[in-house]
Amino acid sequence: MLEKNLHTLLIEKLVPGGYGLGRLDEGIVVLVRYVLPGEKVVVREVSRKKDYITAILREVLSPSPDRIEPPCPIYGLCGGCDLQHAGSDAQIRLKKAILTDSLHRAAGNIVSDPALFIENHLAAPTQFGYRQRIRLHVDGQGNYGFFRPESHLLVPVSRCLLARDELNKVLQQMHTCHSFTELVTHCTAFELLFNPAGKDTFLLLHFLRKPRPADCLSARDLADKITGLSTILMQIEGYGLYDPLEQIFLPGSPILSYNLAIEKIVTDFTLSWEAGGFCQVNLEQNNNLVKLVLEMAVSGPHKRILDLYCGYGNFSLPVAKSGSEVLGIDTQNAAIRSAQRNAKQNGIHNCRFEKKQVPAAVDSLLAAGRSFETIILDPPRQGAADIVSLLPKMNPDQIIYISCNPATLARDLTALIPGGYQISRLVPVDMFPQTHHLESVTLLKRSIR
């Protein structure tokens, strides 16, 4: 039986979100995943909007020379990776093209040719096995896995190629453990978290109800049987974090940590965060990211630096270690608790952290007449549209913008550049190999007046 709504098209480029873009004969845009520029493909239309069509790939008629066989057996079914069908060099080239195109489209009238100032990428140390944590979802029948692309349907998973080996070893053991099957039926999701300090794994269960004695027995049996699993926690909505092995609600989250390896910091430097809290999933590449930011920051005695969306002090503390006075702002209590703990355990006294909504904090700093030589910001994917136009009013000599979304970075730069700044450096950072996601670091310096 012939499928309906089939179209044959040529893929022009990849766009933010990892979609390939092609056009029908009448010019309407078609967006489809798992394709590469230059390929002639057959797609099936799944939805039609006013300005574009979304489709799914049915056949590659003319494959790109960059196309390879994806190593993951569930690639295309799982919604995680979306560039495994391209070689590692091609992935970087494609991501850089997305970044270049985003800048040209959003800021072409105020930015010179982006291709001229975007530097070579900061390569990831490894292409697979880099994720420090994974989260699997659970349905009403106790089945677990990753979501399919743009869906809440599950794909069963017993091994993820992006996860560290330590996580996969625990996951594969749990897959055949009856006690885990009993526990997971009462969950909406669970997370596996690798703790570099102890070289062990935490299991965080998102539990639907208060635990019962039978649940604690299952947790004990699971802990006894699974090699490499050191900690089991239950996050219970409305009640908090529960330790089923000790059978108590915890006053705070257990701590995970790792040593940051930076040549400029000659002493041991440890960063820690709360279980379930945010940290960079690619810890090895995070070392390189921090080095890059340190290289850009004009740090030293008597330099005042503001770090917005500071998290647990990933940039604030290494910069403060080199002598600058640093103020870190974040919206999350857990992040600020971790940042303050990290400052204390690393003996850093010239770095202060405040828990505030970032727009409100910027308003307060402006009202107080505060100024900073350098402003660092590392906003979430939605960017920082509500504050970027205010940052030049603090008179920084430079602004360092760490972005995980080329589209919102391009939008925000259109507000910063007219404020009297120009792009000095823009470095793509391959934080998430095998996916379209791209980190980047942009250094803006005050224009010479």
- DSSP letters for 382-403: T--TTTGGGGGGG--SEEEEEE
- Helices assigned H by DSSP within 201-321: 213-225, 283-296, 316-321
Three-state secondary structure call for residue 159: coil
- Boundary of a domain, candidates 12, 42, 67: 67
Please report, for the domain that includes residue 387, its CATH number: 3.40.50.150
Q: How many CB atoms lie within 10 A of CB 321?
A: 24
Pairing relationship of beta strands 270-274 and 255-259 according to DSSP bridges = antiparallel
190 and 302 belong to one structural domain: no
Q: Which helix (H) or strand (E) holds 117?
A: helix 114-117
Please report, for the domain that includes residue 15, its CATH number: 2.40.50.140
Residue type, 410: A
Average pLDDT over residues 17-24: 96
360 and 408 belong to one structural domain: yes
Q: How many CB atoms lie within 10 A of CB 66?
A: 17
pLDDT for the residue 276: 86
144 and 232 belong to one structural domain: yes
298 and 193 belong to one structural domain: no
Instruction: Tell me the sheet residues that pair with 74.
Output: none
- Boundary of a domain, candidates 44, 67, 90: 67
CA-based R_g, the chain, Å = 24
Q: Percent of the chain at pLDDT above 70?
A: 95
Three-state secondary structure call for residue 426: strand
Domain-embedded: residue 405: yes
Is the pLDDT confidence value at 50 over 90? no
277 and 196 belong to one structural domain: no
Q: pLDDT tens for residues 282-302?
A: 999 999 999 999 999 976 666
pLDDT for the residue 266: 56
Please state whether the predicted TM-score (pTM) of the whole model is above 0.85. Answer: yes
* Lookup: tokens for 304: 């005042």
Domain-embedded: residue 369: yes
User: Among 308, 328, 307, 319, which Cα is nearest to 346's?
Assistant: 319
328 and 388 belong to one structural domain: yes
246 and 293 belong to one structural domain: no
Containing structural domain, residue 17? 1-67
Q: pLDDT tens for residues 154-170?
A: 999 999 999 999 999 99
Domain-embedded: residue 115: no
Q: Give backbone dihedrals phi and psi of 269, rounded to 5 degrees, phi first.
A: -135, 115
CB 56 within 8 A of CB 43: yes
Residue 313 neighbours by CB under 8 Å, 6+ apart: 271, 328, 338, 339, 342, 343, 351, 353
169 and 33 belong to one structural domain: no
- Boundary of a domain, candidates 250, 271, 304: 250
Domain-embedded: residue 74: no
Angle at the Cα of 302 (from 300 to 304), degrees rounded to 5?
Answer: 90
Q: Give backbone dihedrals phi and psi of 130, rounded to 5 degrees, phi first.
A: -105, -15
Domain-embedded: residue 147: yes
CB 383 within 8 A of CB 411: yes
Domain-embedded: residue 271: yes
Please report, for the domain that includes residue 163, its CATH number: 2.40.50.1070
201 and 296 belong to one structural domain: no
Using pLDDT thresholds of 50, 70 and 90, give the confidence band for residue 278.
Answer: confident
Domain-embedded: residue 221: yes
pLDDT for the residue 1: 47
**Chain-centre distance of CA 424, in angstroms?**
24
Annotated catalytic, 404?
yes
241 and 275 belong to one structural domain: no
Q: pLDDT tens for residues 213-252?
A: 999 999 999 999 999 999 999 999 889 999 999 999 999 8
221 and 277 belong to one structural domain: no
In the block, tokens 């006013």 appear at 50
Q: Give backbone dihedrals phi and psi of 314, rounded to 5 degrees, phi first.
A: -55, -40
Pairing relationship of beta strands 29-32 and 52-62 according to DSSP bridges = parallel
Q: pLDDT tens for residues 350-394?
A: 999 999 999 999 999 999 999 999 999 999 999 999 999 999 999
* Lookup: tokens for 119: 């530097």
Residue type, 365: L
Domain-embedded: residue 119: no
Q: What does the alpha-carbon distance between residue 310 and residue 342 come to, in Å, rounded to a whole number?
A: 12
305 and 395 belong to one structural domain: yes
pLDDT for the residue 2: 59
Catalytic residue among 78, 187, 310, 404: 404
Mean of per-residue pLDDT scores for the chain: 93
Is the pLDDT confidence value at 115 over 70? no
Cα–Cα distances in Å, from 400 out to 285, 388, 417, 426?
18, 12, 13, 10
The domain tally of the chain equals 3
